[in-house]
A = this chain, B = another copy of it.
Amino acid sequence: MTTTSSPHSHPLDEALQLAPSPSAAAGQYEGHTHAGYWNMVGPFGGITAAALLRALMQHPDRLGDPLSLTVNYAGALAAGPFAVQAVPVRTNRSTQHWTLSILQADAEGAQVVTTTATAVTAVRRETWSVGDVPMPVVPPPTEHKAIVAPQGAVEWLRRYEMRPIAGFVPRTWDGSGDHSLTQLWMRDAPERPLDFCALAALADVFFPRVWLRRARQVPAGTVSITVYFHAGAAQLQETGTGYLLGQARGQEFRNGFFDQTVQLWNEAGTMLATSHQIVYYKE
């Protein structure tokens, strides 16, 4: 598949273009990595999570909206085409359980699994609802400067407008870190109305907590991420192209792996998603 790009299309939509595989069963799609979301040795993890979710969203048998998504990064994707498989393994009355994977041809041409995933979609009804983690009280987005990705920075950083509030990347790597909490306002760049795929990707924009906690830039990469979607169509529409307040914090750093908890609210203070990941770090 060739990625067709138009001057009017958003880079996120370009990156998430999936074509049904010719002469294959439903749920088999072909995609292509996008240079605009490139990280150091493969695509930005958030765009890979979004591509898996997109496959599920396109599936003709889908029931309901995304409720949870877990993505396991088994191996880096190389630049080029890839295949996505999305299988609804069990459909209940109001929930549907999915297994997903991404495969890519290796140097010898054999298809190997680069990414595994599971997801649950659900038909949701209005019920008693309450938020138990209120949005932190912080100044509005316009009162924080957007960061400008420095020359040589990984490309995907330019696909997000990020306005740090607290706990951004240390300026000096002097081992002086004493916490792992980051808060920032953020949205797609250029602006784009929020949907489930964009939300999944936004859950993964936080730089590795270990850099902040140690004020030391060691190699690190997400091994597994889970996103719980609290937003439905109404909350996505209410959010539109507005900013999200993202908050990330590490809980435990131990012997090569740390975990991270994430909350994402919209400007109105509505919790849109919570997320967790476990991340590899070196030494």
Question: Is the C-beta of A3 less than 8 angstroms from some C-beta in chain B?
Answer: no
Q: Kindly state whether residue A190 has any CB partner on chain B within 8 Å.
A: no
Distance in Å: Cβ of A75 to nearest Cβ of chain B? 6
CA distance A26 to B281 in the complex (A): 32
Q: Is A224 on the interface with B (CB-CB < 8 A)? A: yes
Partner of A251 from B129, B132, B251 at Cβ < 8 Å: B132
Q: Name the B residues within 8 Å of A276 (CB-CB).
A: 226, 228, 261, 274, 276
A interface residues, Cβ below 8 angstroms from B: 67-68, 70, 72, 74-75, 89-90, 92, 95, 97, 99, 101, 112-114, 116-118, 120, 122, 124-133, 179-180, 209, 213-214, 223-224, 226, 228, 230, 232, 249-257, 259, 261, 263, 271, 274, 276, 278, 280-283
How many copies, total? 2
B residues within 8 A CB of A256? 122, 124-125, 127
| Best-buried of A74, A92, A132, A133 by chain B (most CB within 10 Å) | A132
Known: A75-B90, A97-B116, A118-B118. A274 touches B252 (CB 8 A): yes
- Chain B residues with Cβ below 8 Å from A127 are 255-256, 281-283
Inter-chain CA distance A124–B72, complex, in Å, is 18
Pick the contact of A97: B74, B92, B249, B282 (CB < 8 A).
B74
When distances are taken between beta carbons in the complex, the residues of chain B under 8 Å from A282 are 127
B271 touches A251 (CB 8 A): yes
Q: How far is the CB of A229 from chain B (nearest CB, A)?
A: 9
Are B70 and A131 in contact, CB atoms less than 8 angstroms apart? no
Q: Is the CB of B74 within 8 A of A89?
A: yes
